[in-house]
Structure 1
Amino acid sequence: MNDNYVHKEDGIVYIDENIPGPKEKNNEYISLIELCNSQLTHSCNCGVKCEENICDCLKISGGVNYTSHSESHYLKLYKKNKNVMLTYPIIECSAHCKCSEKCGNRLVQNGPIGTLYVTTCKEKSIGLGLFTNKFIAKGTFICEYAGEVITKSEAIRRQQYNENKRKMNYIFCLNEHVSGGTIQIFIDPSMFGNIGRYINHSCEPKSEIIPVRVNSPIPKLAVFSCVDIFPNEEITFDYGASYLTNSSKSQDLNNGKTCLCGSKICRGYMPHNVY
């Protein structure tokens, strides 16, 4: 992975990929560690380039995941359709595959784009935000939202602590619906995180998070641009995006913090979901 970013703030450890959270004495934590230590068993025997009807990884993914974008020389998400929920997981080729490292099905694992920088937002009360110094085309992979992978009980404990201490809550809850059930993954980059931790909320976001699996059953939270983003614009996503949080019950918006995103369709309050 090529990630040369660092934190400007003291007391935060930079990590380029997810790590397990602190040890807990319960079965929930044991199950999480087993998941963290597990690997996806599939692999492909392709040559330099993987082809849709031959590559086993692409077959599991239900077809091609990405398509090349000649202008930016990055790859763009291929299957995302806002009107249709993805019915297949996005699986990238891994170290166990025979294909080249330049295979078109290797994207998120290569690390963030190199145009990002962190600075204070125009609305200074928001604090720091993530920006780009070059144009980012719609559909481009930007970075991962990486942090500690924690249990639900630890996520609830941290959320309550943050509320009591009036601290920022960075915990992201991913809900994936499988075989009639819901699998929840909790990522917290508050103390251990990458460049993605600086992405602020907006009711009119410029990016969205899509789970992508590389080697591990625990997905990477991949940030893709959902609109064209121009130089020196802030990169944002919707903290309450329904396609990621629709199994949680949203609390009364009046119990949340005032939203300062400034968009024309601002809901007035920050999303606040119960796990």
Structure 2
Amino acid sequence: MRDVGDRNGQSSQPVTFASPEIKALSRLRSDPRFLQRVRSADVGQAFQLKLASDDDKPQWFPEYEVLRLVEFFSCWVMEWETGMDGLAIQNPEPKDLGDVIPPWDFIWTDNYLCDPSVAPVSQIPAEPKVNGYEITDELCAMAGCDCEDDVCDPRNCACLRRAADCYPYQGGHYQRMFASSDDTKNASDDEDLGAARRDFVYLKDGSIDKNVLLGTPIFECNKSCSCSSSCRNRVVQKGKKARLAFVKTKEKGWGIKALDIIPERTFVGAYGGELLNDTEAERRAGVYDQKLGTTYLQNVDSHIIKVHLTRQIIEKDLAEKGELNDYRGNNANKLKLVDLVTKAADAIEIYEDYWNFLEAGHPVKDNLYDAEVRVRDKLPPGPEDGRIFARAKNDAYQWALDKARRTRKKHSQKNPEVKMDDPYHPDRDFDHPAWIFLKLGTTEQNDLRRMAVERSNMEDERMVTVDSALWGNHTRFFNHSCDPNICHVPVYTDNASLMRPLLAFFTLREIAPGEELCFSYAGDMGSNEVDVAIAASAPQSPAKGRARAKPTMIHPPSTRPGAETEAAITATEADGAAAAINPAKERFLNIKCKCGAANCTGRVF
């Protein structure tokens, strides 16, 4: 590897993912349990860098060394990938001898590995009792079923009841299964089960049922269940089955493409890596930003986590009143709790949208923002706060009306044959968060502020981030597209915690052979018919989970156009200097998008 001269004329080794100081970020590298994985990756990485370097590449029969590198990498992937199917490699025009394979800058894992900052599931403490009542904790996802056959019957499999109990959200797939207040009736009687038939999310071919909204959390049978590996409710845990390939793209570096037709809603990989707490994630983000200018950090955030934390707030409130048992036991009581949790979760989301609207900045909104902070944080009110909130209610009406007009105009442009000349009605057409929140009574507003602050604190304390920089799999090569063809779905398998769903990628539509697999780094899911249904259900959509305002956004190096192999796994001092000067948020927001989609925004974030 070549030295890069600094500004004083001295030479120094460039910081790379292979540098000891970067590898040292992962304390798992020195864990004896992973010695074999670490050693094989380090040997392969050193071999690739040697072939990529002009100063150290072989002079005689280099094609033999290239073949050795390809075979070594292919065997390594096949050995450690869960499905043991491997991935092909396609790069018809390598830039150097090491560029025949993707950057070997990580150790393979298809699952989550707990950094010491995060306790393993077996060490997560139970929630403390409140007024003598047990509060539902994140370990409720670990139960299994006692089905008698190797393949579970969804009509009586306890894993579906577990899913409904773990995701108490009204209108969701599982709640519609148990919509009847009488949970003792025969599960085969569909008329007693509301709109959804009691069945698994997966079809027999392993794809997600089209009647299930994408983003719905999936609870697979697990090691606590009596069924076998052939059970239809086991997909992600067995690894991908779709034939994929690493491919070197012209504009976006290395990516992943399909080798065959992949049907809609098919599993193509789960985001693996190290689980970090908030403090460790921010520490690593600072190093990655300053030293490398890139990061693979992804918040493990989804709607079910927000619902779970909301449930805990509701249960604690009920426990303090001595009323929690009135919402437990039979199905009718459970449905009452579902109703409370759903309304609270939706209301908190409205408040968060209102808060984000105020943070956007505007002379009128700035005054309202300051007043809202004083009320939310229970600070002494300002002399003008009363007038500010009164004026804000009038302003909110106009904001909501303007938004309704824009929405109707957009709808008319897409559907010119539909005439929409009816007068605007606030109850029907106004969905602006400021209007919805400010029209509430004082007591309702204060209660909502309290729950929103409490849930935000719980998120900061308990939510985790997955780092796929030093440990990961093929999903770390998925590139961004403004018109994505894959999205991730929260899935629970073995060692489950409600706060730690696997981010499992499924196809949004049928994928053609040779098509690259891409998702939206910005979090949206494109514009196909499935997504229209998702958008129409907002804010209730399970797919709507919002990322926290942290500088730990996913930003794979493959977004750097045309990077050669050595550049993709190394960084010059100039890169580090630029990263240190520019704030992380500004850099992320100005990543130029080259996805080529018809609806490309020109920016990744």
More strand by share: 1
The one-character-per-residue Cα deviations of 1:129-162 (angstroms, maximum 9, x if unpaired) are 0111011111111111111111122222222333
Structure 1 counterpart of 2:119, one-letter code: I
Moved more, 8-17 or 108-117: 8-17
| SS of residue in 2 equivalent to 1:197 | helix
Partner amino acid, structure 2, of 1:56 = A
Q: Which runs of 5+ in 2 are unaligned?
A: 1-81, 88-100, 125-138, 164-173, 175-197, 311-454, 525-542, 551-584
User: Does structure 1 residue 116 correspond to structure 2 residue 244?
Assistant: yes
State the Cα distance separating 1:75 from its structure 2 match: 1.0
Question: Equivalent pairs: percent with the same residue?
Answer: 25
Distance 1:255 1:2, change over 3 A: closer
Mark the runs of 5 or more structure 1 residues left unpaired by the alignment: 24-28, 69-73
Greater share of helix: 2
Partner of 1:66: 202
Question: Displacement of 1:249 after TM fit?
Answer: 4.0
State the secondary structure of the residue aligned to 1:77: coil
Per the alignment, residue 135 of structure 1 pairs with 261
- For residue 245 of structure 1, report the CA deviation from its aligned partner: 5.1
- 1:165: which partner in 2? 291
For 2:225, the equivalent position in structure 1 comes to 97
How do residues 1-275 of structure 1 correspond to structure 2 at under 5 angstroms? 1-5=82-86, 8-21=102-115, 23=116, 29=117, 32-35=118-121, 40-46=141-147, 47-61=149-163, 62=174, 63=198, 64-68=200-204, 74-78=205-209, 80-81=212-213, 86=216, 89-123=217-251, 126-175=252-301, 176-177=305-306, 178-180=308-310, 181=455, 182=459, 184-215=463-494, 216-217=496-497, 218-242=500-524, 243=543, 246-249=546-549, 255-271=589-605
The residue identity in structure 2 corresponding to 1:55 is C
Tell me, what secondary structure is at the counterpart of 2:517?
strand
Q: Which portions of structure 1, spanning 4 or more consecutive aligned residues, are displaced by more than 6 angstroms?
A: none
> Aligned to 2:121, what secondary structure does the other structure show?
helix
Q: Contact 1:174/1:245 (CA < 8 Å) preserved in 2?
A: no
Distance 1:128-1:8 versus aligned 2 partners, 3 A rule: closer
Query: Do the aligned partners of 2:85 and 2:241 also contact (CA within 8 Å) in 1?
Result: no
AA aligned opposite 2:466: I
The answer to whether the 8 A contact 2:242-2:267 is kept is no
What letter corresponds to residue 110 of structure 1 in structure 2? K
* Aligned counterpart, 1:71: none
User: In structure 2, do the counterparts of structure 1 residues 198 and 36 end up closer, same or farther at CA, with 3 Å as the change threshold?
Assistant: farther
Name the Cα RMSD after superposition.
2.5
Shift of 1:269: 1.6
What's the secondary structure of 1:165's corresponding residue? helix
Deviation larger for 96-105 or 237-246? 237-246
The alpha-carbon deviation at position 254 of structure 1 amounts to 8.1
Is 1:174–1:244's contact at 8 Å kept on the other side of the alignment?
no
- Distance change (3 Å), C-alpha of 1:44 and 1:264: same
TM-score (norm 1): 0.82
- The change in CA–CA distance for 1:116 and 1:161 in structure 2 (over 3 A counts) is same
Is the contact between residue 3 and residue 16 of structure 1 (CA under 8 Å) also seen in structure 2? no
User: Any conservation in 1 of the 2:299–2:547 contact (CA below 8 Å)?
Assistant: no
When residues 37 and 263 of structure 1 are mapped into structure 2, their CA distance, relative to the original with a 3 A threshold, is farther
Instruction: Say if 1:17 and 1:194, in contact at 8 Å, map to a contact too.
Output: no
Rounded Cα–Cα distance in structure 2 between residues aligned with 1:76 and 1:48? 20
Amino acid at match of 2:158: D
3-state SS of paired residue (1:164): helix
- Amino acid corresponding to residue 467 of structure 2 in structure 1: D
Residues 254 and 269, structure 1, Cα contact 8 Å, conserved in 2: no
Q: Residue 185 of structure 1: CA displacement?
A: 2.9
For 2:107 and 2:249, the matched residues in 1 are separated by 22
Q: 1:177-196, CA deviations, whole angstroms, 9 ceiling, x for partnerless residues?
A: 12423563311111111111
Give 3-state SS (helix, strand or coil) of 1:157's partner: helix
